[in-house]
Every structure is written in structure tokens, then in C-alpha cells.
Amino acid sequence: MARYIFITGGVVSSLGKGLASAALGALLQARGFSVRLRKLDPYLNVDPGTMSPFEHGEVFVTDDGAETDLDLGHYERFTGVSARKTDSVSSGRIYSNVLEKERRGEYLGKTIQVIPHVTNEIKDFLSVGEEEVDFMLCEIGGTVGDIEGLPFFEAIRQFSQDKPRGQCIFVHLTLLPYVTASGELKTKPTQHSVKELRAIGIAPDVLLLRSEHPIPAKEREKISLFCNVRKEAVIAAPDLATIYEAPLAYHREGFDQAVLDAFGISPAPRPNLDRWEDVMDRLVNAEGEVRVAIVGKYTQLGDAYKSIAEALTHGGMANRVRVRAEWIDAEIFEREDPGPWLEGFHAILVPGGFGERGTEGKIRAAQFARTRKIPYLGICLGMQMAVIEAARNLAGVANAGSEEFDHEAGVKRFTPVVYHLKEWVQGNHRVERKLTDDKGGTMRLGAYTAVLAEGSNVARIYGGTTIEERHRHRYEVDIEYRDKLEECGLWFSGMSPDNRLPEIVEVKDHPWFIGVQFHPELKSKPFAPHPLFADFVRAAVEVSRLV
């Protein structure tokens, strides 16, 4: 039966609970334990799939088709454990499940209440798969005191009481602000946060203190005394130069040891941190630098493209170079020539997105990369823009475009080289979709197989002709234009197994020009860089040596 570690936050949000959870998972793995990480989010959306990237950052997609919080990306990148639908839940999903059960009469006519019905639903979620691993790490989104988070805090309090003594512990992450005027770190916000937690029946076993400054022993002793936490379980969480330093930094601070001590696991297996030392060696001792332009539409918020930024870093590790990714708003290229903006870059990446805004700029970026022979990686919408660019400028389809933009505008303006995907094969059955369907959870989501053409660039990169990658899209390149585009040099080098859906395109007479309908960034890890990103950075390194 799994031991449970509940990670909560206080004082302010965005302190790094997800990163702390992921790093702890990696450290427990390094000691030989099996782990699974889960996220419980208090917002009322059923999932983040319909939320704007400006609101919530990127949507992470699992193999089994769940649209989840970006923290699950951290979990996968640090532990290598593939997330599942059962690893992410929101208040919206919990309440939806409870109401559906009530409608079906499963509560036998009882009055439905937060306690016990909502809290029982949360506890049922926590229990799924508990026999599979040694440790289950469960992160509660938001901060203690948030009104929408109260059912989750009550549920984990009950859950810890339901389990045998010593099977659940609580880790609480708070902020230690530094007041410049007085030149001191202030412990009072942490004291109040722990007081709030204890008021709802939860006593933290380990405290993580996020701070921009070193934490003196005096402050740690004070926090230990006032928060009733053992001194050795008061752990500093300093700012780091890179997130991949977190496992080593937390280990130096004694985080994993404090957790194992709280469970009474002694003596604990010694950790093997070779993997993370190699990761840091590749980052710190990079042997060069390449510049990659990311031409997107959510550039004001870095978290909107979190997995892409990390996958580029992993690609740099594979080549022992530092990747300097620079974000450029695609709308700029609708007003200005992309040349002066893109001249100094060694590669161009156009990521996914939804809606027409910025798409003409992305098309011009794809044209610049194709004509100037600069390495280009188009992901999801980035592939569709590359196809539209080739259709317009090579195949003579002057007004080529996407049905998505016409649907958005409510008027037909384009010849639809990209169309709304109405049906596809998923496993052993056919999925059908209509434009009038609900938006949430109705895209082509999760892992699908693609077959690569022999002799293609992508077959070389992957080292085989059958791959499985994660998708998140409802529009698709029209196969009707395949012959016309291939005559112009745009090779459809990856297809769905039934040969109906284009998965990958590449330009034949180009050093490195690839568009993919899926999201390879979602499967990249620092210790196992995705082959597409590793080879994309390799191509950028070659360009950098020619300049």
C-alpha cells in the first residue's frame, strides 16, 4: 500500500509546489522507491482544456487523452513516469461526478453535501492505484485559506485519519519574504500560514521555505519552535539558476531525508544521483550556444509554452550546447518584414495555438525558414501554417487557409487546405465530431500511432518507421492536396496507420524543415531528450558553425 505525501502551499501562489513535488519524486526514485504524482486543482473548470494560455499556461496532455495542468509536465520530466487521467482532478470534475451520481439516484435520495459526498469523491480519487507504488505524492493547488480549496484540505485531513498511523505526511511550502528596509527575513507569514493549516486539522511534518536569501539558523529555529515542526524538517527552498538543479539542491538541504524520517523509514537506501549530476554537467559545461526564435501568439506568458522551452533545453543537453530561446510575437510579421527579426537566429520554431490571430505572421516565418534554408520545426498549428505557406507559394493555391479561421470569422474566405476533423480511428472504434459539439475534451487527444516513410528525415531521426506521439487538435491538413504539394517538394513523410491523416511533413531540398501535427515536446525529458528536439538543435548547431 502506498505511503501518501500531501504537498500544500501558503502565503502566496506560484512558489513552486509542482517543482518541489517533482524533485521529491525524483529523489525518492533515486533511493529505489516507485512513485506516482497527482494534482488536485480547486478551480471549477472541469479541465484546463478550454482555458486561455494567458489564464493558466499550457495544457499538458497525457497518453490516455486527459487535458491537465502544466505541473503534470514537471512530474513527467523529473520522474519519467507517464501521467494518466487519474492523476489530475479539479473541483469542477469532482462536483460534476457528484451531481451525475445524484441524478442517477446513487445516493438513495440523501441530501447531497460537501461533507461527506464531495470529500468522499476526492478520497476515492486519491485511492486509485494506491497498490501500484511505494509513494503517492499529491499536490493541492492554490494556497491554504482559499475558499475553493477547503473541500480538498478537509478531504486530505479525513484521508490521513482513515489510513493507518504513519502512512500519510504533510509538506507545506511557504514564502519567507525579505524586507529590504530592515534587512531581515520575516517568519510571520509562515507562522500564520501554518496556523491556518492547523486550524483545519492538518499539522505539517515538513516545511519548505522559499526565499531569495539564505536562511540563517536562528530563523529556522524560530520557525521550528512556533510552527511545531522538527528543526531538521525545516528545509530551505532557495531560488535556483535552473529548475534541473532542484533534485540536487533539495537533497543537499535534506528534503528527502526529512520525508523519510517523517515516515520512520530508517535506515533509508542511499540515493543514486548520477542521472541528475549528468544533467547538471551538461547544462553548466555547455560547449557553445545556439539562438532559436519561437514565433508564437502567447509570448507574453512563458508558461504558455513551458514544455517547448524545456524540450529545447533538453535538445541542447543532448548536443552539449546552451539553447537561447527568444520569443517573438507572430503579429509583428503581419506588419513588418520578418527578415530583420529572424536574420541572426540559427533555427525557427512555430508552436501550436488556436484562432486566427497571428497566423499570417506564422506563415511568413515558415516562408522565411523555407526559402533561407534555416532549420524549421512547426508543431500542430505550426505544421498547418507551413502547409498553407507551401500551398500558396509553391502549389498555386493563392487563397489557401484553414476552415478554423473561416469558422471563427463566420464568413468563407479561404480554400480550406486545413479542415475541421470530423472522424478518426481511435483504437478499435471510430470517433465522430461535429462543429456544434461542446468544446471541452472533444479534440483528437492523447497518444496515436504514426507510420513514417522509409528514407525520410524523420525516419532517420526516430530510428524507425512506427512512432507514438500525443495529439491535441481539432483541425487537420486535407489529404486532397497531398499530390499537388508533394510535386512541389513538400513530402508527407508521416501518416496515420489508415493513411488518411497527415502526421508529418518535411521539405525535401532543405537541410531541416519538419512540421508535425502532434506535440513532441510533451514527451521530452532532461535525461531522455526527444529525438526531434535533439536533432533540431543539432541542425541549429551546424548553422551556427557556418555563420
For 365-389, give one letter per residue: b (16+ CB within 10 A) or e: bbbbbbeeebbbbbbbbbbbbbbbb
Was 190 annotated as part of a binding site? yes
Was 353 annotated as part of a binding site? yes
Was 201 annotated as part of a binding site? no
Reported as type and span, the H/E element at residue 188 is helix 188-199
- Please provide residue 398's backbone torsions phi and psi, each rounded to the nearest 5 degrees: -55, -40
Q: How far apart are CA 302 and CA 489, in angstroms?
A: 35
Was 68 annotated as part of a binding site? no
Was 474 annotated as part of a binding site? yes
Reported as type and span, the H/E element at residue 485 is helix 482-487
Was 382 annotated as part of a binding site? yes
Q: How far apart are CA 485 and CA 395, in angstroms?
A: 6
If one counts every other C-beta atom within 10 angstroms of the C-beta of residue 347, the result is 28
Q: Which of 58, 69, 63, 67 is nearest to 82 (CA)?
A: 63
Q: Could you give the C-alpha distances from 283 to 105, 312, 337, 369, in angstroms and in order?
A: 57, 12, 35, 28
If one counts every other C-beta atom within 10 angstroms of the C-beta of residue 138, the result is 22
Q: How far apart are CA 421 and CA 152, in angstroms?
A: 38
Was 212 annotated as part of a binding site? no
* Amino acid present at 79: T
Was 102 annotated as part of a binding site? no
Was 14 annotated as part of a binding site? yes
Was 18 annotated as part of a binding site? yes
Q: How far apart are CA 524 and CA 527, in angstroms?
A: 9
Was 71 annotated as part of a binding site? yes
Was 17 annotated as part of a binding site? yes
In terms of phi and psi (left: phi > 0; alpha: psi -120 to 50; beta: otherwise), the region of 489 is left
Was 148 annotated as part of a binding site? yes
Was 511 annotated as part of a binding site? no
Catalytic, 521? Answer: yes
Was 147 annotated as part of a binding site? yes
Catalytic residue among 138, 168, 227, 380: 380
Was 310 annotated as part of a binding site? no
Was 300 annotated as part of a binding site? no
Q: Which of 21, 41, 40 is nearest to 29 (CA)?
A: 21
Was 15 annotated as part of a binding site? yes
CB 358 within 8 A of CB 402: no
Catalytic, 488? Answer: no
Q: How far apart are CA 494 and CA 501, in angstroms?
A: 9
Catalytic residue among 121, 403, 469, 521: 521
Was 146 annotated as part of a binding site? yes
Quote the DSSP letter at residue 19: H
* CB neighbour list of residue 307: distance below 8 Å, 6 or more residues apart: 58, 60, 70, 73, 519, 521, 522, 524
* Amino acid present at 271: P
Quote the DSSP letter at residue 46: S
Q: How far apart are CA 110 and CA 523, in angstroms?
A: 45
Catalytic, 213? Answer: no
Was 16 annotated as part of a binding site? yes
Q: Could you give the C-alpha distances from 121 to 99, 101, 131, in angstroms and in order?
A: 11, 10, 19
Was 191 annotated as part of a binding site? yes
Catalytic residue among 56, 346, 471, 519: 519
Which parts are annotated binding residues for CTP? 13, 146-148, 186-191, 222
Residue ranges of the annotated binding site for Mg(2+) are 71, 139
Catalytic residue ranges = 380, 519, 521
- Give the residue numbers of the binding site for UTP: 13, 186-191, 222
Binding residues for ATP, as ranges, are 14-19, 71, 240
Query: Binding site: what residues are annotated?
Result: 13-19, 71, 139, 146-148, 186-191, 222, 240, 353, 381-384, 404, 474
